[in-house]
Amino acid sequence: MNASDNPAHILLVGAGLTGALLSIFLAKRGFRVSVYEKRPDPCLYPTEEGRSINLALSHRGIRALKQVGLDEYILQHALPMRGRLLHSQGQDDRYVPYGKDDSYYINSISRSRLNSLLIEEARRYPLITFYFEHVCEGVDFEKNTVFLRHKPTEAQVIAKADVIMGVDGAGSAVRKQMQAQHNFEQSVDFLEHGYKELTIPPTASGDFAIRPDALHIWPRKSFMLIALPNVDKSFTCTLFLANEGPVSFNSLQSTEAVEDFFDTHFADVKTLMPQLSSEFLKNPVGLLGTLRCNPWYRPYNALLLGDAAHAIVPFYGQGMNASFEDCLVLDQCIETYGRAWAKVFERFQQLRKPNTDAIAALAIENFYEMRDGVTEEAFLRMKQLEHQLENTYPDYRSKYSMVTFSPEMSYAEAQRLGNLQNEWLLAFCRQQTNLSTVNLEEVYRALKTAVPVA
């Protein structure tokens, strides 16, 4: 399709990770794109505003970036993490690789850097215009009109477009307006856990304080700490903890309480966090929830994508990756149906909703696996066995690998196959306490029979 002679005008609300990438996909198809964002331009004023500082970018996200020619460029700003390093209490640290060899890794990248890189790249397209510090306050879908407030001047701004896309995150103002439709369904399920970010700075000699090529996990049953490396050689740690209760963010309100909690549960890592208590008491607690809604569109002129349509908990590191995959799939729908928006949107939701529902469920399951499972011996044996299977049989893929490294397999299929395979393997490893006596070929054949396509 060539829209360049009379480019349809698409208005995006939100210049976050999804909005910035989506604008590039749309401009490449020849659409005129206006992007309205409530924050100041992150290229000029980099702020984090309490959102996660770094993210794991993996194959699904990379595939979408590749489609617009940005994969290699973006990856230059990322650090590879090739496995999980488990720091369990009272045990030796255990490294669990993500895949069969070093070519399987996920990438730690700064959220604000990634956002700025995408916006800088989008600015190269004359068809894209950004309007920062514009807050969407309402939408009149009947009149294709978005009502905004320009923050510095408090002026009311009215913008019109042929199509309106809400890429304004979990608290989407565009979605709120869609809720007024009689057939709109929405649910938000919050975890009882929230999160808080903390820092492990570089050592005095300017080096990484812990191994930089891994995602570090300190699993402690009802809570856990993780750490991802940054290019400045610091680590961003995230503590996931209950919001309320005897051991909770609510109970840790003083320096003494924080110090005591870390002395008891994270003594090894505490020594690496000189600013622990001040950071802990200063940094906000973030909420974690799963948002589901339906439909994601109005037939002829409006669509939700990214977190605005399907925010998930972060335990599979897939929220942004799924949102980038949204951009790729929407692009394919436009390729097929052109400007027949009703068809484009309908097909987009048909293709995406089962998959975003699947990754939402997988992400919640992974919370419990990371928190509890990694402390169970049978689970660790299963990981070891999976590693042997991956190394020996080229067609064997772990569930993690299906979700993270296999973008050609849908999330829904990864969920179905991965869960069947894991159930079988875990049951096997609960019975087999000594893996050195196990005949791998027999395990592989039995697994193939039990879970045929694995």
Q: Which is nearer to ligand FAD, 61 or 295 (CB)?
A: 61
Stretch of residues binding ligand FAD (CB under 6 A), selected from 90-98, 162-170, 272-280, 440-448: 162-170
The DSSP result for 117-181, as a single string, is HHHHHHTT-TTEEEE-SEEEEEEEGGGTEEEEEETTTTEEEEEE-SEEEE---TT-HHHHHHTTS
Residue position matching structure tokens 């948002």: 291
Q: Report the residue from 321, 349, 398, 415 that binds ligand FAD according to the rule CB under 6 A.
A: 321
CB of 75 to ligand FAD, least distance (A): 14
Task: List, in sequence order, every beta strand (DSSP E) within 213-285.
Answer: 214-219, 224-229, 235-242
Q: Which is nearer to ligand FAD, 38 or 113 (CB)?
A: 38
Total residues contacting ligand FAD (rule CB under 6 A)?
33
Query: Cα separations (Å) of 99 from 71, 116, 120, 385?
Result: 21, 31, 33, 12
Stretch of residues binding ligand FAD (CB under 6 A), selected from 214-222, 317-325, 379-387, 405-413: 317-325
Residues 222-261 touching ligand FAD, rule: CB under 6 A, are: 238
Tell whether residue 139 is a contact of ligand FAD (CB under 6 A): no
Residues 367-386 touching ligand FAD, rule: CB under 6 A, are: none
Q: Report the residue from 10, 11, 15, 364 that binds ligand FAD according to the rule CB under 6 A.
A: 15
Site string for ligand FAD, 186-205 (x = CB under 6 A): ---------x----------
Tell whether residue 135 is a contact of ligand FAD (CB under 6 A): yes
Tell whether residue 166 is a contact of ligand FAD (CB under 6 A): no
Tell whether residue 405 is a contact of ligand FAD (CB under 6 A): no
Residue position matching structure tokens 């399951």: 365
Answer whether 225's CB lies under 8 Å from 274's CB. Answer: no
Stretch of residues binding ligand FAD (CB under 6 A), selected from 118-126, 301-309, 405-413, 428-436: 301-309
Q: Which is nearer to ligand FAD, 331 or 421 (CB)?
A: 331
**H-helix segments, 319-410:** 319-337, 341-371, 377-392, 399-405
CB of 445 to ligand FAD, least distance (A): 36
Tell whether residue 52 is a contact of ligand FAD (CB under 6 A): yes
Task: State CA 303 to chain mean position distance.
Answer: 20
Answer whether 46's CB lies under 8 Å from 112's CB. Answer: yes
Tell whether residue 39 is a contact of ligand FAD (CB under 6 A): yes
Q: Report the residue from 144, 318, 366, 422 that binds ligand FAD according to the rule CB under 6 A.
A: 318
Q: Report the residue from 96, 163, 167, 414 that binds ligand FAD according to the rule CB under 6 A.
A: 167
Q: Please list the helix, strand and coil fractions of the chain in percent, rounded to the nearest 5, in that order.
A: 40, 25, 35
Query: Cα separations (Å) of 396 from 146, 402, 443?
Result: 50, 10, 12
DSSP secondary structure letter of residue 315: G
Which residues 6+ apart lie within 8 Å of 30 measured at CB? Answer: 1, 2, 3, 4, 7, 127
Q: Which is nearer to ligand FAD, 239 or 382 (CB)?
A: 239
Tell whether residue 62 is a contact of ligand FAD (CB under 6 A): no
Dist. CA 64–CA 68, nearest whole Å: 7
Q: Quick one: tokens of 290?
A: 């799963």
CB of 451 to ligand FAD, least distance (A): 27
Nearest to 287 by CA among 314, 307, 266: 314
Q: Which residue is nearest to ligand FAD (CB)?
A: 16
Tell whether residue 55 is a contact of ligand FAD (CB under 6 A): yes
Amino acid at 419: N
CB of 373 to ligand FAD, least distance (A): 19
Tell whether residue 18 is a contact of ligand FAD (CB under 6 A): yes
Dist. CA 415–CA 399, nearest whole Å: 7
Q: Report the residue from 173, 237, 402, 417 that binds ligand FAD according to the rule CB under 6 A.
A: 173
Q: Return the axis-axis angle of helices 411-431 and 440-450, rounded to nearest 10°.
A: 130
Q: Report the residue from 307, 331, 357, 369 that binds ligand FAD according to the rule CB under 6 A.
A: 307
Query: Cα separations (Å) of 39 from 48, 53, 132, 221, 368?
Result: 11, 16, 6, 37, 34
Residues near ligand FAD (CB under 6 A):
13-19, 36-39, 52, 55-56, 135-136, 167-169, 173, 195, 238, 286, 306-308, 314, 317-321, 323
